Amino acid sequence: MTVSVVLFTSDLRLHDHPPLRAAVDAADEVVPLFVRDPAVDRAGFAAPNRLAFLADCLADLDAGLRRRGGRLVVHAGDTVAEVCGVVRRSDADEVHMAADHSAFARAREERLRDALEADGRRLYVHDAVTTVVPPGDVTPQGSDHFAVFTPYFRRWSGEPLRSPLAAPRAVRVPSGLRSDEPPSRASVAGVSEGLAKGGETTARRRLGAWLSRHADAYGTGHDDLAGDTTSRLSPYLHFGALSATEAVHRARARGGPGAEAFVRQLCWRDFHRQMLAVRPAIATEDYRSRHDRWRRGAAAEADLRAWREGRTGYPVVDAALRQLAHEGWMHNRGRLLTASFLTKTLYLDWREGARHFLSLLVDGDLANNQLNWQWVAGTGADSRPNKVLNPVAQGRRYDPDGAYVRRWVPELAALPGASVHEPWKPKDREGVARDYPEPLVALAEGAARFRHGRGLE
Ligand SMILES: Cc1cc2nc3c(=O)[nH]c(=O)nc-3n(C[C@H](O)[C@H](O)[C@H](O)COP(=O)(O)OP(=O)(O)OC[C@H]3O[C@@H](n4cnc5c(N)ncnc54)[C@H](O)[C@@H]3O)c2cc1C
Protein backbone atom coordinates (compact mmCIF):
# COMPACT_ATOMS: atom_id res chain seq x y z
CA MET A 1 0.00 0.00 0.00
CA THR A 2 1.57 3.34 -1.04
CA VAL A 3 0.75 6.59 0.73
CA SER A 4 1.27 10.26 -0.17
CA VAL A 5 0.56 13.41 1.82
CA VAL A 6 -1.04 16.61 0.50
CA LEU A 7 -0.23 19.63 2.58
CA PHE A 8 -2.95 22.27 2.20
CA THR A 9 -1.90 25.86 2.88
CA SER A 10 -3.51 28.75 0.92
CA ASP A 11 -5.33 26.36 -1.40
CA LEU A 12 -8.31 25.12 0.61
CA ARG A 13 -10.28 23.42 -2.16
CA LEU A 14 -10.78 20.15 -3.97
CA HIS A 15 -11.42 21.46 -7.49
CA ASP A 16 -8.49 22.45 -9.66
CA HIS A 17 -5.94 21.33 -7.11
CA PRO A 18 -2.78 19.99 -8.82
CA PRO A 19 -1.07 18.77 -5.60
CA LEU A 20 -4.15 16.76 -4.60
CA ARG A 21 -4.49 15.32 -8.09
CA ALA A 22 -0.80 14.33 -8.15
CA ALA A 23 -1.04 12.72 -4.71
CA VAL A 24 -4.16 10.75 -5.63
CA ASP A 25 -2.52 9.57 -8.86
CA ALA A 26 0.74 8.64 -7.14
CA ALA A 27 -0.46 6.46 -4.27
CA ASP A 28 -3.16 4.10 -3.06
CA GLU A 29 -3.95 6.29 -0.07
CA VAL A 30 -3.65 10.02 0.58
CA VAL A 31 -3.38 12.04 3.79
CA PRO A 32 -5.00 15.46 3.26
CA LEU A 33 -3.23 17.49 5.92
CA PHE A 34 -3.63 21.02 7.25
CA VAL A 35 -1.27 22.33 9.93
CA ARG A 36 -2.30 25.20 12.23
CA ASP A 37 1.17 26.64 12.69
CA PRO A 38 1.59 29.32 15.37
CA ALA A 39 4.41 30.80 13.27
CA VAL A 40 1.82 31.76 10.62
CA ASP A 41 -0.09 33.66 13.30
CA ARG A 42 3.08 35.33 14.49
CA ALA A 43 3.79 36.37 10.88
CA GLY A 44 0.58 38.43 10.97
CA PHE A 45 -2.19 36.05 9.96
CA ALA A 46 -4.09 35.88 13.22
CA ALA A 47 -6.88 38.41 12.73
CA PRO A 48 -10.25 37.18 14.03
CA ASN A 49 -12.03 37.61 10.69
CA ARG A 50 -9.46 35.53 8.85
CA LEU A 51 -9.38 32.87 11.58
CA ALA A 52 -13.17 32.54 11.42
CA PHE A 53 -13.16 32.36 7.64
CA LEU A 54 -10.37 29.79 7.78
CA ALA A 55 -12.48 27.66 10.12
CA ASP A 56 -15.32 27.73 7.57
CA CYS A 57 -12.94 26.78 4.76
CA LEU A 58 -11.51 23.84 6.73
CA ALA A 59 -14.97 22.58 7.70
CA ASP A 60 -16.07 22.72 4.07
CA LEU A 61 -12.89 21.00 2.89
CA ASP A 62 -13.40 18.24 5.44
CA ALA A 63 -17.04 17.82 4.36
CA GLY A 64 -16.00 17.59 0.70
CA LEU A 65 -13.37 14.97 1.51
CA ARG A 66 -15.85 12.97 3.57
CA ARG A 67 -18.25 12.91 0.62
CA ARG A 68 -15.38 11.28 -1.28
CA GLY A 69 -14.69 8.70 1.38
CA GLY A 70 -11.86 10.59 3.11
CA ARG A 71 -11.43 13.32 5.71
CA LEU A 72 -9.17 16.22 6.56
CA VAL A 73 -6.37 15.58 9.05
CA VAL A 74 -5.62 18.67 11.12
CA HIS A 75 -2.54 19.15 13.28
CA ALA A 76 -1.41 22.07 15.40
CA GLY A 77 2.29 22.86 15.68
CA ASP A 78 5.38 23.57 13.61
CA THR A 79 4.59 22.68 9.98
CA VAL A 80 7.84 20.85 9.33
CA ALA A 81 7.69 18.77 12.50
CA GLU A 82 4.02 17.92 12.01
CA VAL A 83 4.37 16.96 8.35
CA CYS A 84 7.40 14.79 9.09
CA GLY A 85 5.52 13.12 11.95
CA VAL A 86 2.54 12.30 9.70
CA VAL A 87 4.84 11.07 6.93
CA ARG A 88 6.61 8.70 9.29
CA ARG A 89 3.45 7.41 10.94
CA SER A 90 1.71 6.78 7.60
CA ASP A 91 4.94 5.67 5.93
CA ALA A 92 4.30 8.04 3.05
CA ASP A 93 6.85 8.30 0.25
CA GLU A 94 6.07 11.79 -0.90
CA VAL A 95 4.49 15.09 0.05
CA HIS A 96 2.72 17.41 -2.40
CA MET A 97 2.04 21.07 -1.78
CA ALA A 98 1.42 24.32 -3.65
CA ALA A 99 4.21 26.80 -4.27
CA ASP A 100 3.85 30.03 -2.38
CA HIS A 101 6.15 32.94 -2.84
CA SER A 102 6.28 34.94 0.36
CA ALA A 103 9.58 34.92 2.23
CA PHE A 104 7.87 33.02 5.04
CA ALA A 105 6.49 30.34 2.71
CA ARG A 106 9.78 29.88 0.89
CA ALA A 107 11.70 29.41 4.11
CA ARG A 108 9.09 26.88 5.28
CA GLU A 109 9.34 24.98 2.00
CA GLU A 110 13.12 24.79 2.20
CA ARG A 111 13.07 23.50 5.77
CA LEU A 112 10.45 20.93 4.85
CA ARG A 113 12.37 19.72 1.80
CA ASP A 114 15.57 19.30 3.83
CA ALA A 115 13.79 17.43 6.62
CA LEU A 116 11.96 15.10 4.24
CA GLU A 117 15.02 14.38 2.14
CA ALA A 118 17.03 13.58 5.26
CA ASP A 119 14.37 10.96 5.93
CA GLY A 120 14.48 9.56 2.38
CA ARG A 121 11.16 11.12 1.27
CA ARG A 122 10.38 13.63 -1.47
CA LEU A 123 8.66 16.98 -1.53
CA TYR A 124 6.85 17.98 -4.74
CA VAL A 125 5.98 21.67 -5.00
CA HIS A 126 3.35 22.54 -7.61
CA ASP A 127 3.31 25.91 -9.31
CA ALA A 128 0.32 27.90 -10.58
CA VAL A 129 -1.95 26.77 -7.74
CA THR A 130 -2.22 29.99 -5.74
CA THR A 131 -1.42 32.23 -8.75
CA VAL A 132 -2.37 32.05 -12.42
CA VAL A 133 1.12 32.88 -13.64
CA PRO A 134 3.84 32.12 -11.07
CA PRO A 135 6.17 34.95 -10.07
CA GLY A 136 9.24 35.01 -12.28
CA ASP A 137 7.60 33.20 -15.20
CA VAL A 138 7.33 36.44 -17.12
CA THR A 139 9.93 39.16 -16.67
CA PRO A 140 10.85 42.22 -18.71
CA GLN A 141 14.23 42.41 -20.35
CA GLY A 142 16.92 43.34 -17.84
CA SER A 143 14.84 43.03 -14.67
CA ASP A 144 13.60 40.33 -12.33
CA HIS A 145 10.06 41.76 -12.16
CA PHE A 146 7.61 44.08 -13.86
CA ALA A 147 7.23 47.45 -12.16
CA VAL A 148 4.41 48.63 -14.45
CA PHE A 149 1.07 46.84 -14.63
CA THR A 150 0.01 47.28 -18.29
CA PRO A 151 3.01 45.57 -19.92
CA TYR A 152 2.81 42.87 -17.26
CA PHE A 153 -0.86 42.30 -18.07
CA ARG A 154 -0.02 42.03 -21.79
CA ARG A 155 2.57 39.31 -21.16
CA TRP A 156 0.41 37.60 -18.52
CA SER A 157 -2.53 37.43 -20.93
CA GLY A 158 -0.39 35.65 -23.52
CA GLU A 159 0.84 32.94 -21.15
CA PRO A 160 -0.54 29.42 -21.69
CA LEU A 161 -3.21 28.60 -19.13
CA ARG A 162 -3.44 25.07 -17.80
CA SER A 163 -6.89 23.45 -17.93
CA PRO A 164 -8.72 23.35 -14.60
CA LEU A 165 -8.74 19.95 -12.93
CA ALA A 166 -11.90 18.27 -11.71
CA ALA A 167 -12.13 17.38 -8.02
CA PRO A 168 -11.11 13.75 -7.39
CA ARG A 169 -14.03 11.32 -7.25
CA ALA A 170 -12.63 9.44 -4.26
CA VAL A 171 -9.92 10.07 -1.69
CA ARG A 172 -8.83 7.08 0.41
CA VAL A 173 -7.25 8.12 3.70
CA PRO A 174 -5.22 5.63 5.79
CA SER A 175 -7.10 4.62 8.91
CA GLY A 176 -5.92 5.23 12.43
CA LEU A 177 -4.30 8.64 11.91
CA ARG A 178 -4.91 11.07 14.73
CA SER A 179 -6.30 14.52 13.97
CA ASP A 180 -6.64 17.58 16.19
CA GLU A 181 -9.99 19.30 16.42
CA PRO A 182 -10.16 21.79 13.51
CA PRO A 183 -10.71 25.40 14.61
CA SER A 184 -14.37 26.42 14.72
CA ARG A 185 -15.82 29.81 13.81
CA ALA A 186 -17.77 29.89 17.06
CA SER A 187 -14.54 29.76 19.09
CA VAL A 188 -13.11 32.94 17.53
CA ALA A 189 -13.75 36.15 19.46
CA GLY A 190 -13.99 39.61 17.90
CA VAL A 191 -15.35 38.57 14.50
CA SER A 192 -17.11 41.24 12.41
CA GLU A 193 -20.86 40.87 12.58
CA GLY A 194 -21.37 40.84 8.81
CA LEU A 195 -18.47 38.53 7.93
CA ALA A 196 -19.14 36.35 4.86
CA LYS A 197 -19.22 32.58 5.12
CA GLY A 198 -16.06 30.85 3.96
CA GLY A 199 -15.51 27.63 2.04
CA GLU A 200 -15.23 26.21 -1.44
CA THR A 201 -18.93 25.43 -1.75
CA THR A 202 -19.88 29.07 -1.19
CA ALA A 203 -17.04 30.25 -3.43
CA ARG A 204 -18.16 28.14 -6.39
CA ARG A 205 -21.78 29.15 -5.96
CA ARG A 206 -20.79 32.80 -5.75
CA LEU A 207 -18.61 32.64 -8.87
CA GLY A 208 -21.39 31.02 -10.89
CA ALA A 209 -24.04 33.46 -9.68
CA TRP A 210 -21.82 36.49 -10.22
CA LEU A 211 -20.84 35.47 -13.75
CA SER A 212 -24.44 35.06 -14.78
CA ARG A 213 -25.86 38.11 -12.98
CA HIS A 214 -23.22 40.80 -12.76
CA ALA A 215 -20.27 40.06 -15.05
CA ASP A 216 -21.73 41.86 -18.05
CA ALA A 217 -22.11 45.11 -16.12
CA TYR A 218 -18.75 44.81 -14.30
CA GLY A 219 -16.86 47.08 -16.70
CA THR A 220 -19.15 50.01 -15.97
CA GLY A 221 -20.53 49.08 -12.54
CA HIS A 222 -17.45 48.03 -10.58
CA ASP A 223 -17.02 51.46 -8.99
CA ASP A 224 -20.63 51.85 -7.88
CA LEU A 225 -20.35 51.84 -4.10
CA ALA A 226 -24.04 51.39 -3.31
CA GLY A 227 -24.65 48.93 -6.17
CA ASP A 228 -22.04 46.62 -4.66
CA THR A 229 -21.87 44.35 -7.70
CA THR A 230 -18.21 43.36 -7.71
CA SER A 231 -17.67 39.62 -7.24
CA ARG A 232 -16.70 39.67 -3.54
CA LEU A 233 -14.52 36.67 -4.33
CA SER A 234 -11.35 38.15 -2.79
CA PRO A 235 -11.48 36.17 0.50
CA TYR A 236 -12.12 32.90 -1.36
CA LEU A 237 -9.20 33.62 -3.66
CA HIS A 238 -7.04 34.57 -0.71
CA PHE A 239 -7.68 31.25 1.05
CA GLY A 240 -7.59 29.34 -2.22
CA ALA A 241 -11.18 28.14 -1.76
CA LEU A 242 -11.45 29.16 -5.39
CA SER A 243 -8.79 28.68 -8.05
CA ALA A 244 -7.87 31.92 -9.83
CA THR A 245 -6.98 29.86 -12.91
CA GLU A 246 -10.44 28.37 -13.00
CA ALA A 247 -11.99 31.83 -12.48
CA VAL A 248 -10.04 33.11 -15.51
CA HIS A 249 -11.21 30.16 -17.63
CA ARG A 250 -14.81 30.61 -16.66
CA ALA A 251 -14.77 34.37 -17.20
CA ARG A 252 -13.15 33.95 -20.61
CA ALA A 253 -15.76 31.35 -21.51
CA ARG A 254 -18.46 33.81 -20.51
CA GLY A 255 -16.80 36.50 -22.67
CA GLY A 256 -17.65 40.18 -23.12
CA PRO A 257 -16.06 43.39 -21.84
CA GLY A 258 -17.24 42.88 -18.23
CA ALA A 259 -15.69 39.43 -17.97
CA GLU A 260 -12.49 40.71 -19.60
CA ALA A 261 -12.29 43.56 -17.08
CA PHE A 262 -12.69 40.98 -14.28
CA VAL A 263 -9.80 38.89 -15.67
CA ARG A 264 -7.69 42.04 -15.72
CA GLN A 265 -8.41 42.54 -12.01
CA LEU A 266 -7.37 38.96 -11.29
CA CYS A 267 -4.06 39.75 -12.95
CA TRP A 268 -3.37 42.37 -10.24
CA ARG A 269 -2.98 39.54 -7.71
CA ASP A 270 -0.16 38.02 -9.71
CA PHE A 271 1.37 41.43 -10.44
CA HIS A 272 1.75 42.17 -6.74
CA ARG A 273 3.04 38.68 -5.98
CA GLN A 274 5.75 38.90 -8.61
CA MET A 275 6.91 42.17 -7.01
CA LEU A 276 6.88 40.87 -3.44
CA ALA A 277 8.58 37.60 -4.43
CA VAL A 278 11.75 39.41 -5.47
CA ARG A 279 11.50 42.38 -3.09
CA PRO A 280 10.20 40.89 0.19
CA ALA A 281 11.25 44.03 2.06
CA ILE A 282 8.52 46.07 0.35
CA ALA A 283 5.99 44.53 2.70
CA THR A 284 7.22 47.19 5.11
CA GLU A 285 9.57 49.49 3.18
CA ASP A 286 8.77 51.97 0.40
CA TYR A 287 9.16 50.45 -3.05
CA ARG A 288 10.09 53.93 -4.27
CA SER A 289 10.94 56.31 -1.52
CA ARG A 290 9.42 59.79 -1.85
CA HIS A 291 11.36 60.94 1.22
CA ASP A 292 8.14 61.47 3.11
CA ARG A 293 8.13 63.15 6.48
CA TRP A 294 4.93 61.53 7.70
CA ARG A 295 3.17 63.29 10.56
CA ARG A 296 3.87 61.95 14.05
CA GLY A 297 2.88 63.02 17.56
CA ALA A 298 -0.33 63.50 19.49
CA ALA A 299 -2.36 65.27 16.78
CA ALA A 300 -1.36 62.64 14.21
CA GLU A 301 -2.34 59.88 16.65
CA ALA A 302 -5.74 61.49 17.24
CA ASP A 303 -6.35 61.76 13.48
CA LEU A 304 -5.35 58.12 13.00
CA ARG A 305 -7.77 57.07 15.71
CA ALA A 306 -10.62 59.08 14.12
CA TRP A 307 -9.83 57.54 10.72
CA ARG A 308 -9.86 54.00 12.13
CA GLU A 309 -13.20 54.65 13.82
CA GLY A 310 -14.78 56.14 10.70
CA ARG A 311 -15.12 59.56 12.30
CA THR A 312 -13.18 61.84 9.95
CA GLY A 313 -16.16 64.05 9.12
CA TYR A 314 -15.91 63.07 5.43
CA PRO A 315 -18.96 60.87 4.92
CA VAL A 316 -17.81 58.52 2.19
CA VAL A 317 -14.51 57.88 4.00
CA ASP A 318 -16.37 57.16 7.23
CA ALA A 319 -18.89 54.93 5.46
CA ALA A 320 -16.15 52.77 3.93
CA LEU A 321 -14.24 52.40 7.22
CA ARG A 322 -17.43 51.40 9.00
CA GLN A 323 -18.19 48.86 6.28
CA LEU A 324 -14.73 47.39 6.93
CA ALA A 325 -15.40 47.12 10.67
CA HIS A 326 -18.82 45.57 10.13
CA GLU A 327 -18.05 43.12 7.33
CA GLY A 328 -14.29 42.60 7.39
CA TRP A 329 -14.41 43.64 3.75
CA MET A 330 -14.50 46.94 1.90
CA HIS A 331 -15.40 47.86 -1.66
CA ASN A 332 -12.32 48.58 -3.81
CA ARG A 333 -13.38 52.20 -4.40
CA GLY A 334 -13.70 52.59 -0.64
CA ARG A 335 -10.21 51.15 -0.15
CA LEU A 336 -8.79 53.59 -2.67
CA LEU A 337 -10.39 56.67 -1.21
CA THR A 338 -9.84 55.83 2.46
CA ALA A 339 -6.18 55.06 1.73
CA SER A 340 -5.75 58.28 -0.23
CA PHE A 341 -7.40 60.20 2.60
CA LEU A 342 -5.07 58.72 5.21
CA THR A 343 -1.83 59.14 3.29
CA LYS A 344 -2.45 62.34 1.39
CA THR A 345 -5.11 64.35 3.21
CA LEU A 346 -4.08 63.40 6.75
CA TYR A 347 -0.49 62.76 5.63
CA LEU A 348 -0.10 59.70 7.84
CA ASP A 349 2.23 56.80 7.09
CA TRP A 350 0.73 54.16 4.77
CA ARG A 351 2.00 51.42 7.12
CA GLU A 352 -0.47 52.58 9.78
CA GLY A 353 -3.38 52.24 7.37
CA ALA A 354 -2.13 48.91 6.03
CA ARG A 355 -1.89 47.59 9.61
CA HIS A 356 -5.48 48.59 10.35
CA PHE A 357 -6.71 46.98 7.13
CA LEU A 358 -4.81 43.77 7.91
CA SER A 359 -6.35 43.63 11.38
CA LEU A 360 -9.83 43.45 9.83
CA LEU A 361 -9.79 42.41 6.17
CA VAL A 362 -10.93 38.85 5.61
CA ASP A 363 -9.01 38.94 2.32
CA GLY A 364 -6.07 40.66 4.08
CA ASP A 365 -3.05 39.60 2.12
CA LEU A 366 0.52 40.80 2.44
CA ALA A 367 1.15 41.29 -1.28
CA ASN A 368 -2.20 42.80 -2.21
CA ASN A 369 -2.66 44.90 0.88
CA GLN A 370 0.82 46.37 1.28
CA LEU A 371 1.34 46.99 -2.42
CA ASN A 372 -2.07 48.51 -2.96
CA TRP A 373 -1.38 50.78 -0.02
CA GLN A 374 1.94 51.74 -1.57
CA TRP A 375 0.22 52.31 -4.90
CA VAL A 376 -2.20 54.78 -3.32
CA ALA A 377 0.44 56.42 -1.14
CA GLY A 378 2.57 56.99 -4.22
CA THR A 379 5.52 54.97 -2.93
CA GLY A 380 4.62 51.96 -5.10
CA ALA A 381 4.13 51.23 -8.77
CA ASP A 382 1.69 54.03 -9.63
CA SER A 383 3.00 56.41 -12.27
CA ARG A 384 1.11 59.34 -10.72
CA PRO A 385 2.43 59.22 -7.17
CA ASN A 386 1.13 62.60 -6.04
CA LYS A 387 -2.48 62.24 -7.17
CA VAL A 388 -4.93 63.00 -4.35
CA LEU A 389 -8.52 61.68 -4.35
CA ASN A 390 -10.98 64.33 -3.21
CA PRO A 391 -13.47 62.55 -0.90
CA VAL A 392 -16.35 64.88 -1.75
CA ALA A 393 -15.89 64.52 -5.52
CA GLN A 394 -15.37 60.77 -5.09
CA GLY A 395 -18.56 60.51 -3.06
CA ARG A 396 -20.58 62.46 -5.61
CA ARG A 397 -19.19 60.38 -8.45
CA TYR A 398 -19.32 56.85 -7.02
CA ASP A 399 -22.24 57.24 -4.63
CA PRO A 400 -24.32 59.77 -6.58
CA ASP A 401 -27.53 59.19 -4.63
CA GLY A 402 -25.75 58.99 -1.28
CA ALA A 403 -27.24 55.55 -0.56
CA TYR A 404 -23.90 54.01 0.42
CA VAL A 405 -23.20 56.75 2.96
CA ARG A 406 -26.70 56.56 4.45
CA ARG A 407 -26.31 52.76 4.75
CA TRP A 408 -23.19 53.03 6.92
CA VAL A 409 -23.43 56.44 8.59
CA PRO A 410 -26.79 56.60 10.35
CA GLU A 411 -25.98 60.07 11.73
CA LEU A 412 -26.56 61.35 8.18
CA ALA A 413 -29.58 59.22 7.27
CA ALA A 414 -31.89 62.25 7.18
CA LEU A 415 -29.89 64.06 4.49
CA PRO A 416 -31.37 63.59 1.01
CA GLY A 417 -29.52 62.52 -2.16
CA ALA A 418 -25.97 63.66 -2.77
CA SER A 419 -26.23 66.38 -0.10
CA VAL A 420 -25.07 63.65 2.29
CA HIS A 421 -21.52 64.15 1.01
CA GLU A 422 -21.33 67.70 2.41
CA PRO A 423 -22.96 67.63 5.84
CA TRP A 424 -21.34 70.94 6.75
CA LYS A 425 -23.52 72.76 4.21
CA PRO A 426 -27.08 72.66 5.66
CA LYS A 427 -27.86 75.71 7.75
CA ASP A 428 -27.33 74.92 11.45
CA ARG A 429 -26.36 71.37 10.34
CA GLU A 430 -30.01 70.57 9.92
CA GLY A 431 -30.53 66.80 9.42
CA VAL A 432 -27.05 65.97 10.76
CA ALA A 433 -26.94 64.09 14.07
CA ARG A 434 -25.18 66.08 16.72
CA ASP A 435 -22.45 63.52 17.30
CA TYR A 436 -21.33 63.39 13.65
CA PRO A 437 -17.92 65.11 13.66
CA GLU A 438 -16.77 68.19 11.79
CA PRO A 439 -14.13 67.44 9.10
CA LEU A 440 -10.74 66.66 10.66
CA VAL A 441 -9.04 69.04 8.26
CA ALA A 442 -10.06 71.27 5.34
CA LEU A 443 -9.14 69.58 2.05
CA ALA A 444 -7.01 72.51 0.82
CA GLU A 445 -5.09 72.54 4.09
CA GLY A 446 -4.51 68.78 3.90
CA ALA A 447 -3.30 69.04 0.32
CA ALA A 448 -0.87 71.84 1.17
CA ARG A 449 0.52 69.85 4.12
CA PHE A 450 1.02 66.82 1.87
CA ARG A 451 2.82 68.80 -0.81
CA HIS A 452 5.05 70.40 1.77
CA GLY A 453 5.80 67.11 3.58
CA ARG A 454 6.69 65.40 0.35
CA GLY A 455 8.91 68.25 -0.73
CA LEU A 456 6.81 69.14 -3.78
CA GLU A 457 7.00 72.86 -3.11
C1 LIG B 1 -5.54 50.10 -0.01
C2 LIG B 1 -5.98 48.80 -0.62
C3 LIG B 1 -5.79 47.61 0.07
C4 LIG B 1 -6.17 46.39 -0.51
N5 LIG B 1 -5.97 45.22 0.19
C6 LIG B 1 -6.29 44.02 -0.38
C7 LIG B 1 -6.05 42.80 0.30
O8 LIG B 1 -5.51 42.76 1.41
N9 LIG B 1 -6.44 41.65 -0.31
C10 LIG B 1 -7.03 41.64 -1.54
O11 LIG B 1 -7.37 40.57 -2.05
N12 LIG B 1 -7.23 42.79 -2.22
C13 LIG B 1 -6.88 43.98 -1.68
N14 LIG B 1 -7.13 45.14 -2.38
C15 LIG B 1 -7.58 45.05 -3.77
C16 LIG B 1 -9.09 45.15 -3.99
O17 LIG B 1 -9.62 46.25 -3.32
C18 LIG B 1 -9.83 43.88 -3.56
O19 LIG B 1 -9.21 42.74 -4.11
C20 LIG B 1 -11.28 43.94 -4.07
O21 LIG B 1 -11.93 45.06 -3.56
C22 LIG B 1 -12.01 42.69 -3.65
O23 LIG B 1 -13.34 42.76 -4.00
P24 LIG B 1 -13.95 41.81 -5.11
O25 LIG B 1 -13.56 40.41 -4.83
O26 LIG B 1 -15.40 42.12 -5.20
O27 LIG B 1 -13.17 42.32 -6.39
P28 LIG B 1 -13.52 42.23 -7.94
O29 LIG B 1 -13.63 43.63 -8.42
O30 LIG B 1 -14.65 41.32 -8.19
O31 LIG B 1 -12.17 41.65 -8.57
C32 LIG B 1 -11.94 40.25 -8.74
C33 LIG B 1 -10.69 39.83 -8.00
O34 LIG B 1 -9.54 40.47 -8.57
C35 LIG B 1 -8.59 40.69 -7.54
N36 LIG B 1 -8.33 42.14 -7.46
C37 LIG B 1 -9.16 43.14 -7.80
N38 LIG B 1 -8.54 44.32 -7.63
C39 LIG B 1 -7.32 44.07 -7.17
C40 LIG B 1 -6.20 44.87 -6.81
N41 LIG B 1 -6.22 46.20 -6.90
N42 LIG B 1 -5.10 44.25 -6.34
C43 LIG B 1 -5.04 42.90 -6.26
N44 LIG B 1 -6.06 42.09 -6.61
C45 LIG B 1 -7.18 42.67 -7.05
C46 LIG B 1 -9.19 40.20 -6.24
O47 LIG B 1 -8.69 38.90 -5.98
C48 LIG B 1 -10.68 40.19 -6.54
O49 LIG B 1 -11.40 39.25 -5.76
C50 LIG B 1 -6.75 46.37 -1.80
C51 LIG B 1 -6.94 47.59 -2.49
C52 LIG B 1 -6.56 48.78 -1.91
C53 LIG B 1 -6.75 50.06 -2.68
Q: pTM here?
A: 0.98
**From CA 108, how far away is CA 82, in angstroms rounded?**
12
- Pocket-forming residues, ligand 1, beta carbon under 6 Å: 222, 230-234, 237-238, 262, 265-266, 268-269, 272, 332, 335-336, 339, 357, 361, 363-365, 368-369, 372-373, 376
Write the ipTM.
Answer: 0.99
Q: Is position 346 annotated in a ligand binding site?
A: no
- Digitized pLDDT (tens) for each residue of the chain, 457 residues in all: 999 999 999 999 999 999 999 999 999 999 999 999 999 888 777 899 999 999 999 999 999 999 999 999 999 999 999 999 999 999 999 999 999 988 889 999 999 999 999 999 999 999 999 999 999 999 999 999 999 999 999 999 999 999 999 999 999 999 999 999 888 999 999 999 999 999 999 999 999 999 999 999 999 999 999 999 999 999 999 999 999 999 999 999 999 999 999 999 999 999 999 999 999 999 999 999 999 999 999 999 999 999 999 999 999 999 999 999 999 999 999 999 999 999 999 999 999 999 999 999 999 999 999 999 999 999 998 889 999 999 999 999 999 999 999 999 999 999 999 999 999 999 999 999 999 999 999 999 999 999 999 999 8
Q: Is position 177 annotated in a ligand binding site?
A: no
- Given a contact cutoff of 8 angstroms between Cβ atoms, the answer to whether 248 and 263 are in contact is yes
**Edge-to-edge strands, sheet with 3-8:** 73-76, 29-36, 3-8, 94-98, 122-126
State whether residue 406 is helix, strand or coil: helix
* Cα-to-centroid distance, 425 and ligand 1 (Å): 34
**From CA 128, how far away is CA 130, in angstroms rounded?**
6
Protein residue closest via CA to atom 6 of ligand 1: 369
Nearest-CA neighbor of 405 among 269, 270, 307, 314?
314
**From CA 348, how far away is CA 307, in angstroms rounded?**
10
Protein residue closest via CA to atom 21 of ligand 1: 332
